[in-house]
Amino acid sequence: MRRLVAVLGAAMLVAVSCSSSGTPGGGASPSVAATEKPQQGGRVIEATISDIATMQPVLVNDTASGRITGLIYDNILQVDYKTGEPKPRLASATVSSDSLKYTFEMNAKAVWSDGKPLIADDWLTGLKAVGKSKKTVRKSTFKDVVGFTDYSDGKATSISGVAIDPANNKKWTVTMAKVSCSAIIDLIGYTLPTQVFGKYVTDSSKDEIDTAPENTNPTVVSGPFKFTEWRKGDQVILDKNATYWQGAPNIDQYVYKVVANQTAITNGLKTGEITWGTIQAKDLADVQTVATVKIDKYQNLGYTFIGWNTASPTAVGLADKRVRQALAYGIDMDQVIKAVVFGEATKQVSHHVPVQWAYPTGVQLEQYKYDKAKAQSLLKDAGWTPGPDGILQNAAGKKFNLTISTNSGNTERETLATVAAEQYKQLGINAKAAPEAFQGLVTKLTTGDSTLEATIIGWSLGAEPDPYSIWHSSQIPDPAKKVEGFGFTYFKDPAMDKAIEEARNPSNGDCTVASRKKQYETFNKILNENQPYNFGYANNVLAVSQQSLQSFKPGSFSAIYNVNEWWIKK
């Protein structure tokens, strides 16, 4: 056995984020000195555009609900807010030398708000809840836990791969069916109070967990705040958990306020009705004139891209790597970033973003700086030459038409589609932007609709960088067989598959960051060269807070990791 977290901590590449904090004038934040004693009391109001859907972590599938469950339930591990490195929270973790057994032990001080200690059974209750639920979207996360699938399918009454130490009810071991490097993140799972939810995961339970009244009225919590009231469509009110095991929060109340749109968030921050929220880049200049707020910038854990359908029957040019490279050289992404997101983004040339440890730093990637001549040359090499009307055509006389689809209503993406189409027209490509409803677009993408030629959309990534669901060849949709997936570019490469597999389920069992990072460098190098996406850019997150809010230090992986330390300066 070795201390997994320690290993990760030592080996993890500490990614450099663009986090910065400043006042409207651009100077240093007038935050109080670290030595100043936090004041007690006050209320934090965070703005959200969507109301929460549930407070049952097992059923959470939206950002808003995730925020509330993150405030009322602690997890066994927590990823570092800047690096994504998993660190002990409720429990410590160790992994066996063969990377198949994970042992966790709850912190001796960890208690529920009703005073009961947190024990291994509470984590098991969360896992059983996933197994029993018919509405959760997380079942596949635990499929490699020995016995989980049988339990979930109703073939077993217990999960054979989970063993609680009979001599220590705070300690448990999870056995995996195969080496899975994402296990340490996946097994964070959900730690639920057995005294509340245990009755929904008994041997005779069916899917009662999906409709448990405590899902919308949690009575026992492990996080810094406890649930007080949910005014539907308006706000969720949380009061501080005075018995929080890591120390009671300084602020008395955390209110999650539902507003209609981004404009309402900006308005509320300006009037002081909202304590903190994120704004869009287009509103930054306006908010910078407000003296009562401060702005924290950090890189988003995701990116916006243009995906090329390399199997398109209409835009046949996209099958050729040289054409896709030309489309990368032929768009001035730095200019696009200025035009579309007012410079508040970083150009991307790989799948992984700079804040992830998997971001390729040890390999030379082509940056695809804007070079119209090179783009034209590549198109010519690929057999696309200007026709009599100036539009590129191939030897068969087929014109290079290109429709760039994106989801309507997202002004940023619509602008990007328009700007990209304009720039590609300058290469002789008959490009046009085609916004359409997100609902329809998602179905087209996941079912592999052949009418899509180019699509602008975005990915939100996580602390675990495994790109299997997006880039492994098994994820390419097949409309004929009604197989769906997120591999809608139809791009595949055996070497890329191998790199993804080795970083996910290594044949030598080596899940160290160094080993996985090497595989991801190979993976990103192949993508960078083949350009199935123009990887676009990673936005900056612009978190705006009132000057009175102290110790608020959001990062790419979490904004509320230290919420119990926040305080309001009166």
Asked if 486 interacts with other proteins (CB under 8 A), we say yes
Helix, strand, coil shares of the chain as percentages rounded to 5? 30, 20, 45
Q: What residues form DSSP beta bridges with 306?
A: 456, 534
* Residue 440 sits in the site that holds other proteins (CB under 8 A): yes
Under the binding rule (CB under 8 A), the answer on residue 442 touching other proteins is yes
Among 219, 410, 446, 473, binds other proteins (CB under 8 A): 446
The one segment of 2-10, 106-114, 260-268, 314-322 that binds other proteins by CB under 8 A: 260-268
Among 105, 296, 412, 464, binds other proteins (CB under 8 A): 464
Q: Is 338 in the site for other proteins (CB under 8 A)?
A: no
Q: How far apart are CA 545 and CA 270, in angstroms?
A: 10
Torsion of CA 7, 8, 11, 13, to 10 degrees: -170
Q: State the minimum distance, in angstroms, from the CB of residue 494 to other proteins.
A: 22
Q: Which of 6, 16, 242, 437 binds other proteins (CB under 8 A)?
A: 437
Helix (H, G, I), strand (E, B) or coil at 470: helix
Using an 8 Å Cβ cutoff, are 363 and 524 in contact? yes
* Site track for other proteins across 232-251, x = CB under 8 A: xxxx----------------
Min. distance of Cβ 276 from other proteins in angstroms?
Answer: 13
Size of site (CB under 8 A) for other proteins: 59
Closer residue to other proteins (CB): 47 or 72: 47
190-229 binders of other proteins (CB under 8 A): 210-211, 215-216
Position 140 contacts other proteins (CB under 8 A): yes
Tokens 């979490």 correspond to: 558
Cα angle: 73, vertex 560, 305; to 5 degrees: 110
By the rule CB under 8 A, 53 interacts with other proteins: yes
Are 21 and 549 in contact by the 8 Å Cβ rule? The answer is: no
469 part of the interface to other proteins, by CB under 8 A? yes
Which window, 24-32, 464-472, 493-501, 547-555, contacts other proteins (CB under 8 A)? Answer: 464-472
The residue within the footprint of other proteins, chosen from 264, 311, 319, 365 (CB under 8 A), is 264
Beta bridge partners of 87: 78
- Mapped to the 3 state alphabet, what secondary structure does 152-217 carry? HCCCCCCCCCEEECCCCCCEEEEEECCCCCCHHHHCCCCCCCHHHHHHHCCCCCCCHHHHCHHHCC
Query: Per-residue x/- mask for other proteins, residues 354 to 393, rule CB under 8 A?
Result: ----------------------------------------
- Is residue 140 a contact partner of residue 204, using CB atoms and an 8 Å limit? no
Contact call for residue 260 and other proteins (CB under 8 A): yes
Tokens encoding 371: 């070079």
**Token pair for 16:** 């450099």
Q: What are phi and psi of 293, to 5 degrees?
A: -120, 160
Cα(554)–Cα(568) distance, integer angstroms: 16
CB of 73 to other proteins, least distance (A): 18
Q: Greatest CA span in the chain, whole angstroms?
A: 83
Find the shortest distance in angstroms from Cβ 286 to other proteins. Answer: 10
Which one of 42-50, 154-162, 414-422, 530-538 is the stretch in contact with other proteins (CB under 8 A)? Answer: 42-50
Write out the residues near other proteins by the rule CB under 8 A.
Answer: 43, 45, 50-51, 53-54, 59, 61-62, 134-135, 137, 139-141, 143, 210-211, 215-216, 231-235, 253, 255, 257-261, 263-264, 267-268, 270-271, 273, 437-440, 442-446, 459-460, 462, 464, 466, 468-469, 483-486
